[in-house]
Amino acid sequence: MDLFLKITEAVLAALAGMCIFSFLNVVIYRVPRHMNFITGRSHCTRCGHALSGLDMIPVVSWLCLRGKCRYCKAPVSARYTVVELLGGMLALLSVYQYGFQWKALTVFAFFAVLTAVAFVDADTMEIPDGFVIAAALVGVISIFVFPEISLVSRLIGIVCVSGPMLLLAMLIAGGFGGGDIKLMAACGIFMGWKISLLAMFFAALAGGAYGVILMARKKAGRKSQFAFGPFLCVGMAAAFLWGEKILNWYLGMYGL
C-alpha cells in the first residue's frame, strides 16, 4: 500500500510539473516578444491556427502528432516537449527532497523561474526584469518556508556574488550583463551566501568548459560573448539541491 501511494504521488507530481511547464513554454515564447502570456489562446507559430485542448496535452500531443502541427503539418520544435519533461523531473526532485510540503512547492517555483530565465536568455541574450522580480518574490517567500537559512545569510547572499560581478562588469567591458548581476542578487535572497558562492563556482566551471568547446570547434574567439544566464541557472539549481552535501563532504576532507 505504501509503495502504491508513493507511485501515485510521484505520478501526480510529475504530471503537475509537466502541466505547469507547458504553460511556462507560453511564457518563454511570449515574454521576449512583449506578448500577453495570460490572455489569448495558444496558436501555431507557423500558420496561426488556434490550438485545441487535444493539441496541448503535455508530451502526449507532440508524440501523437509526430512533432507536427495538426493543421499545417509544420514541424513543432521538440524543445517544448523537453521543457515539459524537465518540469516533470524538477517536480519529482522537489517532492523527493522535501515531500508534499510548502518547501517542495517553493523550490519548484524557484526552478520554474530559473528555467524561464535560462531559455529566454539563451534565445535573446537578455534576462527580463520581470523574471528577476519573480525570483526575488520567491526568495522573500522562502524566508518563511526555509527559516533555517538566516536573514543575515540571505542579505550577504544578495551581494556576495552580484557585487563582484558588478565590479568586473565596470572594469571589463562585456564582463557580465546587467541581467546576470540582478538575477544573482535576487536569487541570493533565496539561497543565502554559501549556496550562492557555490552556484557561481558551478556556473563558472560549466560556462568556462562551454567556451573552451566553442573555441576548440572554432565557433567562437577569445572575445566572443555568449549567454551566461543558463549556466547561472543550472549552477543555482544544482547548488541548492546538493550544495550542502558537497560543502560538508569537502570540509570533511579537511576535518572542518
Please report, as a single letter, which amino acid is at residue 86.
L
Query: In this structure, are 109 and 148 located in the same domain?
Result: yes
CA angle 175, 187, 163 (to 5 degrees): 40
pLDDT digits (tens, 9 = 90+) for 27-81: 999 999 989 988 878 888 888 888 888 888 999 999 998 899 989 999 999 999 9
Query: In this structure, are 133 and 253 located in the same domain?
Result: yes
Query: In this structure, are 109 and 43 located in the same domain?
Result: no
Query: In this structure, are 49 and 90 located in the same domain?
Result: yes
Query: In this structure, are 21 and 137 located in the same domain?
Result: no
Residues in contact with 146: Cβ distance below 8 Å, sequence separation at least 6, in sequence order:
103, 106
Query: In this structure, are 69 and 120 located in the same domain?
Result: no
pLDDT digits (tens, 9 = 90+) for 69-113: 989 999 999 999 999 999 999 999 999 999 889 999 999 999 999
Residues in contact with 128: Cβ distance below 8 Å, sequence separation at least 6, in sequence order:
31, 32, 120, 179
Mean of the per-residue pLDDT values of the chain: 91
Domain boundary at 64, 99, 134, which? 99
At 54 the pLDDT is: 84
- Chain centre to alpha carbon of residue 201: 17
Query: In this structure, are 115 and 220 located in the same domain?
Result: yes
Assess whether pLDDT exceeds 70 at residue 213.
yes
Instruction: Provide the number of structural domains found in the chain.
Output: 2
pLDDT digits (tens, 9 = 90+) for 234-256: 999 999 998 888 888 877 776 66
Domain span at 25: 1-99
Instruction: Describe the crossing of helices 2-30 and 79-98 by its angle, rounded to 10 degrees.
Output: 140
